[in-house]
Structure 1
Amino acid sequence: MTATSATGRGGGPLRWVRRLLLGALLMGLVVVGGTALHVWQVARIDDYSRADAIVVLGAAQYDGTPSSVFEARLDQAYKLYRKQVAPMIVTVGGKRVGDNYTEAASGKTYLENQGVPDDRILAVETGSDTLQSVEAVSKALLARGKSSVVLVSDPWHSLRTRTMTRDAGLAAWTAPTRTGPAVYTRESQAHGIFRETFALLWYQLTHFSADFKYTADQ
């Protein structure tokens, strides 16, 4: 009986460590799962409420020609503009080393070719990731007395973009593109939700961006 009690006492702390580790693991799974669900829920939202501006998040461009990902976003922004959701469109994004054009400039040219007047497009040629882009847009719009935006990106990018934009001082909601490589297959959708779940958790934890070169088109 004494030996059994000693063994029990010896195993007690180890059992508590195991329980704590298991509890931490389960809590982590709940947080990750809940965030993934929220990413999915916001991805399904199409809010066409009136705003001061439509903001198109940049993506890759090739010598002034938008990639398929970027083109899908620009087409959605043009659709919103035609529906009079906002009187102006903001394109945003800088350029990589060796590029002749910024993402913002190539997006502006694309929209002008669709018939959007030059004075209805603001090109914010700054930003190499989502956080830099939304902060640059917020600064530019607030300086012009604009305070509300509808954000256009890929569906899975919506929640993180909206979170960052609101943190930057703008009222923001989302109307993402429903076309393009980001939504073609279930695999691309699952990849987008997975990536954005951890990118959002990282941002909420550190307030730094977690954008990496995960596809050539992005």
Structure 2
Amino acid sequence: MSVPTRRRRGADPPSEPVRGRGTPDAARMRRLGWPTRILIGGLLMVVAVVGTTALRVWQVARIDDQQPADAVVVLGAAQYNGEPSAILASRLRHAADLYSEGLAPRIVTVGGSQNGDRYTEAEASRDYLIRRGVPANAVEMVPEGTDTLRSLEAVAVLAEQQGWETAVLVSDPWHSLRARTMARDAGLDAWTSPTRSGPIVQTRETQLRYIYRETGALLFYELTHAPVDTATSEVG
């Protein structure tokens, strides 16, 4: 007859048999079907792409990489009967400062007109610069395009015709990355010098709204290489 063994005090109790493998989260994932796993993976990828793009928009907005160039290009925004909007005026003042510092021998103003307008954005911008003391022969107009892409493509055509190729783009901080991407795709060797004044940079709420907007616009452009419709927007 066998004698029962006595467990020593302090000895570990017998271990329970291990059931299943991995953590509870891993077990739940194994229970999900492949379509659900693919959907979750796709959503995570979308979140990562959007987040990375928003970070790039924010980073480039903080950089002023101005350097001597053939032209300072002022991207258009709304004008009212020949008078630049507050957004456009802040860009033009910054461009005038860059010209006065000798960064480039010319300023190029861009932008067409909406139905019913008497002036194009390029015309209103040129007149504003001349009133601020920029010589008339130092301002070139490209009165084409109601969006950033079409305007920059027209600037690239002008650059080729006149034999220059480098440009410093002046716009709002959050617009800088998309504008630079489009300019380089059009064949310009472009850098950015965003304005630090104007309505778009006044409040945190406005800044976040434009970062959100530019993130979507940049992703749309990178996917389609088409412009975002800005006919009703102050920002081209």
TM-score by length of 1: 0.92
Aligned residues: 208
Which residue of structure 1 lines up, in the alignment, with residue 191 of structure 2?
Answer: 173
> Contact (CA 8 Å) 1:43, 1:159: kept in 2 or not?
yes
Structure 2 residue 172 is the aligned partner of structure 1 residue 141 = no
SS of the equivalent of 2:36 reads: helix
Gaps of 5+ in 2: 1-28
Which residue of structure 2 lines up, in the alignment, with residue 54 of structure 1?
Answer: 72
Match of 2:123 among 105, 114, 119: 105
Match of 2:175 among 148, 152, 157: 157
Change (3 A) 1:211 1:156: farther
SS of the equivalent of 1:34 reads: helix
Which residue of structure 1 lines up, in the alignment, with residue 98 of structure 2?
Answer: 80
Deviation sequence 1:122-155 (CA, Å, 0-9, x none): 0101011011000001111121001000000010
Quote the Cα distance in structure 2 between the aligned partners of 1:121 and 1:146: 15
Gaps of 5+ in 1: 1-10
Change (3 A) 1:185 1:209: same
SS of the equivalent of 2:187 reads: coil
Aligned-residue offset at 1:47: 1.5
After TM superposition, the structure 1 = structure 2 runs for residues 119-138 of structure 1, keeping only pairs within 5 Å, are 119-138=137-156
- Worse overlay, 159-168 or 13-22: 13-22
Structure 2 residue 49 is the aligned partner of structure 1 residue 31 = yes
Quote the Cα distance in structure 1 between the aligned partners of 2:177 and 2:216: 12
> Contact (CA 8 Å) 1:199, 1:211: kept in 2 or not?
no
Deviation sequence 1:149-199 (CA, Å, 0-9, x none): 000001000000000000000100000110001101001100111000010
Per residue, is there more helix in 1 or in 2? 1
RMSD (Å) for aligned C-alpha atoms = 1.6
Q: Percent identity?
A: 55
Quote the Cα distance in structure 1 between the aligned partners of 2:235 and 2:166: 28
Change (3 A) 1:162 1:217: closer
Which residue of structure 2 lines up, in the alignment, with residue 189 of structure 1?
Answer: 207
Question: Which stretches of structure 1, 4 residues or longer, exceed 2 Å deviation after superposition?
Answer: 11-14, 211-218
> Contact (CA 8 Å) 1:67, 1:217: kept in 2 or not?
no
Quote the Cα distance in structure 2 between the aligned partners of 1:120 and 1:168: 23
